[in-house]
């Protein structure tokens, strides 16, 4: 009997110290596990993953409610994070370290979620056909001189819907509609299904300029240092280039809040930001972290510093403008 009691006491003591945190993620757990292995080694906190699509995970969180195993929710785009916020998925993270690691405009304005890596949605141009001096703003791509020279991705993807939300925030709905309409007149081909296709179309001469995320271009450059596409950061004299990124927040009914805050501190630390941002060819949110040479070669740029949640909350309005402008 004494041995049974002792075993129970030891089990209880172990359970008190056996900590874990569970992330619901749109990225597969096997891709994320190496990132958090040092966190587990250092803290003893096990990191579990449940993967799925945005719709699957948000529905799961809503259905599970207080019974959820999730402590954190990770998604690839501010439009999805903003939609999750509207559905009451998150609770505020409280770590002052995280707030110190991430500039305010890259965190939700209520600290319900934060970006962890980000990219700019920019003008890609073929230097054999276009001079950087000819470029200026997103709006200017609607000018007559770009007739049949512009390539874009389809309007239903989250990247373009977030860009549309940026336009609505800075220009208003009517001017955004006018901008999209002017772009449509200048399309050289029908909207393309992905950013890589847009970049390749610019290189192949199917169009002279296109819109794509910065992190897609490095792979082309690594394969061919003479790849004929360059980056131009638009709106440098006013709003700054539109930015978006991968983000994470603590789930409203999280059981392991302390551990979740510790994981956010780790995730936004310089030691993680530098190598992981490099692996994804994205910009680290922590300004003290380093970035890959290719991104440095793109040059420093002025980014939009309006809070990302203030932009993202206009996604629904923006998404309704694309079909009205006949942007498919």
Q: Distance between CA atoms of 248 and 83, rounded to whole angstroms? A: 13
Domains in the chain: boundaries:
2-117+245-290, 119-242+312-324
pLDDT-derived band at 131 (thresholds 50, 70, 90) equals very high
How many of the other CB atoms lie within 10 Å of CB of 255? Answer: 16
* Angle at the Cα of 235 from the Cα atoms of 114 and 100, rounded to 5 degrees: 25
80: helix, coil or strand?
helix
pLDDT at 4: 37
Chain segment 38-56, per-residue pLDDT in tens = 999 999 999 999 999 999 9
Largest CA distance in the chain: 89
**pLDDT at position 18 over 90:** no
* CB of 164 closer than 8 Å to CB of 202: no
* CB of 168 closer than 8 Å to CB of 123: no
**Is the four-CA dihedral 322, 283, 193, 127 of positive or negative sign?**
positive
- Arch. (CATH architecture) of 119-242+312-324: 3-Layer(aba) Sandwich (3.40)
Q: Is the pTM of this model over 0.85?
A: yes
Comparison of pLDDT for 2 and 111, the residue scoring more: 111
* CB of 249 closer than 8 Å to CB of 108: yes
**Chosen CATH of 2-117+245-290 out of 3.60.15.10, 3.40.190.10, 3.65.10.10, 2.40.30.10:** 3.40.190.10
Q: What is the DSSP string of 9-43?
A: HHHHHHHHH--EEEEEESS-HHHHHHHHHHHHHHH
Q: Which two tokens stand for residue 158?
A: 């989250």
Chain segment 161-208, per-residue pLDDT in tens = 999 999 999 999 999 999 999 999 999 999 999 999 999 999 999 999
**pLDDT at position 21 over 70:** yes
Chain segment 260-294, per-residue pLDDT in tens = 999 999 999 999 999 999 999 999 999 999 999 99
Task: Compute the average pLDDT of residues 91-95.
Answer: 95
Judge whether 2-117+245-290 and 119-242+312-324 match in fold.
yes
Q: Distance between CA atoms of 158 and 107, rounded to whole angstroms? A: 18
Burial category of 15 from C-beta neighbours within 10 Å (exposed 0-12, middle 13-18, buried 19 and up):
exposed
């Amino acid at each position: 009997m004494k041995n049974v009691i002792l075993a129970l006491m030891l089990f209880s003591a172990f359970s008190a110290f056996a900590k874990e945190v569970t992330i619901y993620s749109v990225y597969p757990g096997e891709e994320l596990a190496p990132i958090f292995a040092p966190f587990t080694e250092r803290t003893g906190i096990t990191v579990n993953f449940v993967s799925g699509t945005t719709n699957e995970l948000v529905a799961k969180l809503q259905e599970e409610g207080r019974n959820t195993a999730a402590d954190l929710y990770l998604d690839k785009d501010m439009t999805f994070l903003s939609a999750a916020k509207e559905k009451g998925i998150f609770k505020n993270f409280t770590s002052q370290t995280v707030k110190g690691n991430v500039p305010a405009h890259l965190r939700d304005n209520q600290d319900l979620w934060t970006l962890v890596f980000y990219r700019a949605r920019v003008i890609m141009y073929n230097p054999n056909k276009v001079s950087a001096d000819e470029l200026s703003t997103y709006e200017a791509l609607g000018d007559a001189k770009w007739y049949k020279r512009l390539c874009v991705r389809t309007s239903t993807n989250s990247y373009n819907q977030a860009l549309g939300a940026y336009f609505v925030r800075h220009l208003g709905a009517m001017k955004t509609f006018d901008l999209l309409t002017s772009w449509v007149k200048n399309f050289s081909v029908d909207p393309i299904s992905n950013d890589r296709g847009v970049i390749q179309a610019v290189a192949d001469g199917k169009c002279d300029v296109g819109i794509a995320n910065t992190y897609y271009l490095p792979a082309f450059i690594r394969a061919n240092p003479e790849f004929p596409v360059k980056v131009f950061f638009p709106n440098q004299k006013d709003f700054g280039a539109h930015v978006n990124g991968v983000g994470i927040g603590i789930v409203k009914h999280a059981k392991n809040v302390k551990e979740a805050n510790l994981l956010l501190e780790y995730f936004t630390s310089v030691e993680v930001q530098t190598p992981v941002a490099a692996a994804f060819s994205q910009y680290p949110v922590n300004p003290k972290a380093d970035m890959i040479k290719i991104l440095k070669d793109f040059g420093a740029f002025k980014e939009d510093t309006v809070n990302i949640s203030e932009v993202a909350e206009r996604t629904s309005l923006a998404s309704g403008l694309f079909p009205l402008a006949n942007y498919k």
